Amino acid sequence: MITKSTGTASASRGMRHRRPRRSVVPFLLPLVIWAGAAGVLALWWSDTTAVVGPAGWLTGAGRITGLLAGYACAVLLVLMARIPLLDHTIGTDRLARQHALGGRCMISLALAHTLLIIWGYSLASHTDVVSQTSTLVLHYPDLLKGTIGFLLFLATGVLSARAARHRMSYETWHYLHFATYLAVFLTFGHQLSNGADFVGNRPAQIAWYTLFLGVAALLGWYRFAVPVRRGLRHHMRVIAVRPEAPGVVSVHLTGEHLDELGGEPGQFLRWRFLAPGLWWTANPYSLSAPAHPHNLRITVKTAGGHSAALAHLTPGTRVWAEGPYGGFTANRRTAPKVLLLAGGVGITPLRTLFETLPGEVTLVYRARRSDDLALRAEIDAIAAHRRATVHYVVDEPAGYTSPLTARGLSTLVPDLAAHDVYLCGPPGMTQAATDALREAGVPARRIHHESFAF
């Protein structure tokens, strides 16, 4: 069933579209990464006088893959260091996808390095691979630690596979990844102790130390020091928890100097509630109202133990917030017309954008039942104030829904191909919507989506 809320005009008075500046960071980052990889290959080339025979070729390939695997570790840590410049211009979800792809490449390189070095050394010493493996692990400096680090990487990679991820909670998966910090530490020492490109090569050692100490500094600052500093400065706490729909609540928070957080509509923070059972994890939730210097609000649907517990928070509960994160903001906009397409609790970041985006904005909000339309009164008030159009689409009663097809969306939103589209909802819904939008002629660069999926 489709219902419509609209004003007498399609655009808000006093709101003018201004084309945002496009950041060069998404284009420069891959260039910087590949330039670093070229530098790693140059290190091997400068330290290699000749490659002779099968043993030499295997060992040389093992050295290259080992260097690239070590460099990839540093890159992967930077991608997840929550550096605002990267996070706000590229987007948390894109960085996470690049991190996942890079992680698979890194583990493949580390595995290739291990096998190639063992094989090459066994040919050079005329022994079998089992004996050579035992010799390397037990008698070479720091190789036992390096082996433990490699096994930790391998275990993390297996647990990060799609089939395994779906069987564990976000919190479990998140904390298992802390083992990778130990793995990096263990393998770092092994590279400097045994790597032919580092032994006796002081400039190479200094460069490697500079790379990893720089990465450690970024991690220490953005992932640990900044959250602690903000937690102590803002004194954030819960002031109320209010139901919005079945299984959906809004958590209202207050604090000091909240304007310094700089949260933009569409962004999220990682919230750590200092309550029993919740203090040990920080989960991502979007702001569901524009940030205020003294008040913030998130709206959460029960989807696991952490989100369910938020409905029982008591006023006065202390909160630490990390962020804001994400690039799902007005800066992604490229066209004068905008469609906001929400599914379920995906309305939370889109509700803030609906209030603040200038120009002609249309909101399509899908839910299973009318009762599931959270924040509807606020959305209607915003639509009336800015004289914008809202389409509510519900699946029940059966037979009255509007399918997520190119034709269905084009019926709701004429001239759909001329719109930027901000999309937020469950994975199945967002994939179907993306396919329908592409079929309707919306360019991929104008479909903006940010996911918390891990």
Give the CA distances from residue 239 to residues 170, 253, 314, 348, in Å, rounded to whole numbers and listed in that order: 26, 5, 8, 19
Cβ atoms of residues 409 and 33 within 8 Å: no
pLDDT at 10: 42
64-68, 123-127, 280-284: which range is least confident on average?
A: 280-284
pLDDT at residue 434, as a whole number: 93
Query: Distances in Å between the alpha carbon of 428 and those of 75, 197, 410, 433, 435?
Result: 31, 48, 20, 9, 11
**How do residues 127-179 score in pLDDT, each as one tens digit?**
998 999 998 888 888 888 888 988 988 888 887 776 666 666 666 776 777 78
Q: Considering the domain 2-19+333-449 in this protein, what is its CATH number? A: 3.40.50.80
Residue 383: pLDDT band by 50, 70, 90 thresholds? very high
State both tokens at 211.
Answer: 């790379």
Res 7 pLDDT > 70? no
pLDDT at 212: 94
Identify the weakest region by mean pLDDT among 148-157, 162-171, 279-288, 324-333.
162-171
Asked if 310 contacts 249 with a C-beta cutoff of 8 angstroms, the reply is yes
Average pLDDT over residues 393-411: 77
Q: Is the pLDDT confidence value at 15 over 50? A: no
What size, in residues, is the chain?
454
Q: How sure is the predictor about 453, in pLDDT bands with cuts at 50, 70 and 90?
A: low
Q: What is the mean pLDDT of residues 258-264?
A: 84
Question: Which of residues 327 and 380 earns the better pLDDT score?
Answer: 380
Asked if the model's pLDDT at residue 228 lies above 70, the reply is yes
**Per-residue DSSP letters for 186-219?**
HHHHHHHHH-TTTTT-HHHHHHHHHHHHHHHHHH
pLDDT of residue 8: 44
pTM for this structure? 0.78
What would the mean pLDDT of 304-329 be, rounded to a whole number?
Answer: 88
- Here the tokens at position 375 are 């924040």
Residues 406, 436 contacting (CB under 8 angstroms): yes
- Is 164:158 a contact under the CB 8 Å cutoff? yes
List, as one string, the DSSP characters of 311-357. Answer: GGPPTT-EEEEEEEE-S-SGGG--SSEEEEEEEGGGHHHHHHHHHH-
Site of tokens 């034709």: 407
Percent of the chain clearing pLDDT 90 (strictly above):
44
**What confidence score (pLDDT) does residue 399 get?**
53
Mean pLDDT of 389-398: 82
Name the nearest CA neighbour of 356 among 325, 381, 328, 382: 382
Residue 257 binned pLDDT confidence (cut-offs 50, 70, 90): confident
- Residue 327 reports pLDDT greater than 50: yes
Q: Which residues pair with 252 in a beta bridge?
A: 240, 297
Q: What is the mean pLDDT of residues 406-423?
A: 91
* pLDDT value at residue 426: 87
Q: Counting Cβ atoms within 10 Å, is residue 426 exposed (0-12), middle (13-18) or buried (19+)?
A: middle
Amino acid at 208: W
Rounded Cα distance between 261 and 166, Å, is: 33
Topology, domain 235-325: Elongation Factor Tu (Ef-tu); domain 3 (2.40.30)
The DSSP-derived string for 130-161 is: HHHHHHHHHHSTTHHHHHHHHHHHHHHHHHTS
Residue 20 in this model has a pLDDT that exceeds 70: no
Average pLDDT of span 73-87 = 92
Number of other CB atoms surrounding residue 283 within 10 Å? 20
**CA separation for the pair 392, 1 (Å, rounded):** 8
Residue that has been written with the tokens 């001239």 in this structure? 415
pLDDT band at 422 (very low <50, low <70, confident <90, very high): very high
Percentage of the chain beyond pLDDT 70 is: 91
Q: What is the pLDDT of residue 282?
A: 83
Of 43-57, 176-190, 395-409, least confident by mean pLDDT is 395-409
Average pLDDT over residues 56-85: 93
CA distance 59 to 38: 19
Residue 376: predicted pLDDT = 93
Average pLDDT over residues 99-103: 89
Helix (H, G, I), strand (E, B) or coil at 301: strand
Q: How confident is the model at residue 6 (pLDDT cuts 50, 70, 90)?
A: low
Q: Average pLDDT of 227-256?
A: 92
| Spatial distance between the Cα atoms of 296 and 289, rounded to a whole number of angstroms | 7
3-state helix, strand, coil in the chain (%, to 5): 55, 15, 30
Q: Is the pLDDT of residue 400 over 70?
A: no
pLDDT at 198 over 50: yes
| Lowest-confidence pick of 157-161, 177-181, 342-346, 432-436 | 157-161
Average pLDDT for 397-412: 77
Residue 170 has a pLDDT of 65
